[in-house]
Structure 1
């Protein structure tokens, strides 16, 4: 319970740091997500799909959180810390599902949360997945580094996306989770020498970088998109729309990185805005945010890189 209080205090602190406008957008997004979840619980297939999404979300949080060592140091039984935090998240969705459908499907989340809480992240080896990173172009060092840091998790999600293709929208949601994970890939600023090695003007550098990253991601999720098309050929336009959504967001990620780029510095100031833009897949009124972010940050990025790459204009 004390850990839940700490998490609540951290959430409020992050909310205050966003400012009133973006805090309201984030709260509206959370409320809208819960409302959409509540509405889809009436039918069986969306109910199972949403349950699998929550399991994947909690698993993603568990495998990517950075405080495992802290929890092991301060908690006698880390398992109870994990299960209390994940159980709180799952409990909200269980109640909403039961109120709408009067079925016990979502109660399967309870054993799923318990199993996830038992996973010892230390035993997940990233080194063995190095061959996956080697398949990514050297110029896309953000994704090479990100794939190494996440280990087998992204291939695992891709496999889940293919296996869940018979469920409506499930495979696209899995691809969305992979794209959301990639936001953290753009927080570390590379050295000046790495940028200079491209020998391109600021505009060409940004455009080519966004193109390479978008192509890398689309090739990565291609098996999932093909599986989705096989089961839902009449919904082909959804796959194309999703691809466009991904390309726009990746372009926004790239420009947001270089709008605040500094030599060898980590900058997470853009991650919240990029995350809010990602929610637009589920909340239509947030869809313009990635486009606005791209336009706003494109000019900042080219200006920020002008001094470094001015000789290549």
Structure 2
């Protein structure tokens, strides 16, 4: 009986945590809110493990890699158009705010880990730092790709194809310049695409 009560208390605590933390995320970041409901416990465990084992040289880079991969799935599905018109802002502002919050949220996870890594391995500071910037580039690219091919409440095959190309940049660094160039192209395409829905707010 005691074992059942202990397990019940842990489960309730985890469920409570999984409902409170997404509330702290800005309303515009509904992708993160949905993603955290799925992966919050995993993200929290990874972050704690990475921070507490940062004296191992491979620990933080591996954790940042996994934490960088997880948000890639947040942007696969396009939201209904009502969710982007609800904020009553222009296409340019919408893209800027999406990118800003993505950078802030991922930085909030990564920077403490990088700082902890540097304390123990200051001569290898460039490893997690390079990882951080590669993932920031990839996340921005995926946001721009999503809205470049945005169709309300759907999953675009073009986003999946270009998303896979971007993901190759993690493994094959030669693809990173391609990601940067496509990001510029998709920024203008995103603005043009979103203007159809947000033209009244320019």
* TM-score normalised by length of structure 1: 0.55
The aligned residue for residue 74 of structure 2 is 185
Q: How far apart are residue 151 of structure 1 and its match? A: 4.0
Task: Please state how far the C-alpha of 1:254 moved relative to its aligned partner.
Answer: 0.7
Structure 2's unaligned 5+ residue stretches are: 1-10
Report what 2:154 is aligned to. Answer: 265
Is the alpha carbon distance of 1:126 and 1:275 closer, same or farther for their aligned partners in structure 2, counting shifts above 3 Å? farther
* 1:211 counterpart = 2:64: no
CA distance in 2, matches of 1:264, 1:247: 25
Query: Deviations for 1:242-275, whole angstroms, at most 9, x for unmatched residues?
Result: 3322221111011111112122223354234334
Q: Pick from 191, 197, 213 the counterpart of residue 86 of structure 2.
A: 197
User: Which of the numbers 109, 130, 144 marks the counterpart of 2:19?
Assistant: 130
Distance 1:268 1:156, change over 3 A: farther
Aligned-residue Cα RMSD (Å) equals 2.4
Tell me whether 166-175 or 138-147 shows the greater mean CA deviation.
Answer: 166-175
The answer to whether the 8 A contact 1:126-1:150 is kept is no
Q: Deviations over 1:141-186 (max 9, x none)?
A: 1011011022411112212222332222431221121221211110
Cα pair 2:141 2:180 within 8 Å, conserved: yes
| Cα distance between partner residues in 1 of 2:160 and 2:101 | 20
Q: Which residue of 2 aligns with 1:221?
A: 110
1:240 is displaced (CA, Å) by 3.4
The 5-angstrom pairing of residues 213-252 of structure 1 reads 213-252=102-141
Residue equivalent to 2:61: 172
* Correspondent of 1:307 among 169, 188, 196: 196
Number of corresponding residues? 190
Distance change in 2, residues 1:264/1:126 (3 Å): farther
Do the aligned residues in 2 keep the contact of 1:183 with 1:275 (CA within 8 Å)? no
C-alpha displacement at 1:308, in angstroms? 0.9
Looking at both structures, which has the greater relative contact order when contacts are Cα pairs under 8 Å and sequence separation is at least 6? Answer: 2
- Specify the SS of the correspondent of 1:198: coil
Shift of 1:286: 2.2
1:295 matched to 2:187? The reply is no
Label 1:205 to 1:286 Cα distance change in 2 as closer, same or farther (>3 A): same
**Inter-CA distance 279–168: structure 2 relative to 1 (3 Å threshold):** farther
Contact 1:196 1:309 in 2 (8 A): yes
Q: What's the TM-score once normalised by structure 2's chain length?
A: 0.82
The structure having more radius of gyration, on CA atoms, is 1
Q: Secondary structure at the match of 2:71?
A: helix
Gap regions ≥5 residues in structure 1 = 1-122
